[in-house]
Amino acid sequence: MENKQTPLGHIGFSIFAWIVGLLIFFPIFWMVLTSFKTELEAVSMPPSFISFDWTLENYAEVQARSDYFRFAMNSVILSVGSTLVGLLFAVPCAWAMAFNPTKRTKDALLWMLSTKMMPPVGVLVPIYLVFRDWGLLDTRFGLIMVLFLMNLPIMVWMLYTYFKEIPSDILEAARMDGATLPKEIIFVLLPMAVPGIASTMLLNIILAWNEAFWTLNLTTADAAPLTAFIASYSSPEGLFWSKLSAASTLAVAPILIIGWFSQKQLVRGLTFGAVK
């Protein structure tokens, strides 16, 4: 069907497609643009697209006044932390399920997935109470645990599908070559699985960074990540659009970039392998 397009049709369709794409992207574009305007400029009508006084004052203010850096660090700690803990649990688990499957393996995998499908609100109460009573509220440790547990099923699942793609006879060859189990994993399995592990890590960082239920309910000041910080702009005083835009741009930029590089992995991870 592709080869039936005329050159003119090709250009026309491309223009149409780009218009659609730009429309979809517009809110993000507008947000970034606003971050470079003064507050007055941001709320003025009609809105200006290019000819205004570009300024970086918002970015400076966001850091100076509200200690943006601390929230960003929390986001980093929570996402990277929960990812590393997750890998610690998920890699052996996925390895076992991929290479030593038992009759129960399939059921176990599906059950793990089902825990991800439980709405968090169903356990909000006990988790909140447990956190409160054990002094875990507003702690980075507590949040890392929660985020790790929420995403563990996806990590196990993704690693499982990647491990399954490693031909088992290569591992058998290693065994015949005299490799003990640890050596087999270190010298043969892990090098071959590095792309898969990297993808899983990226996906997990994205999901943890953007998580906006537990991070909103279980943190107040110390452990609050960027999601909570941005949420605090929902009831501000005075003009705040530019600052909001600046803070938001900073908050989403890293994930946007990571996400752009990991689209395929996203599909695999979020559909639990049901779509390849």
**Residues in region 42-61 near another protein by CB under 8 A:** 42-47
Residues 6+ apart with CB under 8 A from 133: none
The binding track of 162-191 with respect to another protein, each residue x by CB under 8 A or -, is: -----xxxx-xxxxxxxxxx-x---xx--x
Answer for which of 110, 165, 186, 198 binds another protein (CB under 8 A) is 110
Q: Which of positions 87-106 make contact with another protein (CB under 8 A)? A: 89-90, 92-93, 95-97, 99-102, 106
Minimum Å gap between C-beta 148 and another protein is: 8
Q: Which of 202, 162, 199 is nearest to 79 (CA)?
A: 202
* Contact flag: residue 13 with another protein (CB under 8 A): yes
The tokens of 109 are what? 């995998």
Q: Scanning residues 236 to 275, which ones bind another protein (CB under 8 A)?
A: 241, 244-245, 248, 251-252, 255-256, 258-260, 263-264, 266-267, 270-275
CA within 13 Å, CB half, 220 = 6
**Which of the stretches 41-49, 56-64, 76-84, 134-142 binds another protein when contact is defined by CB under 8 A?**
41-49
> Would you state the structure tokens that stand for residue 13, as one six-digit string?
């369709």
- The verdict on 196 binding another protein (CB under 8 A) reads no
Smallest distance, another protein to C-beta of residue 174, A: 7
Residues that bind another protein (rule: CB under 8 A) add up to a total of 117
Q: What is the identity of the amino acid at 201?
A: M
User: C-alpha angle 144/135/205, rounded to 5°?
Assistant: 10
Q: Does the footprint of another protein cover residue 25 (CB under 8 A)?
A: yes
Q: Which is nearer to another protein, 48 or 60 (CB)?
A: 48
Q: Is 63 in the site for another protein (CB under 8 A)?
A: no
Output b/e per residue, 2-27; b: 16+ Cβ within 10 A.
eeeeeeeeeeeeeeeeeeeeeeeeee
Q: Which of 242, 247, 248, 255 is nearest to 37 (CA)?
A: 242
Q: Is the dihedral of CA 82, 87, 88, 94 positive or negative?
A: positive
Q: Does 224 bind another protein (CB under 8 A)?
A: no
Q: Around Cβ 89, how many Cβ atoms within 10 Å?
A: 14
Closest to another protein by CB, 67 or 165? 165
- Which residues in the 129-148 window bind another protein by CB under 8 A? 129-130
CA–CA gap between residue 211 and residue 201 (Å, rounded): 15
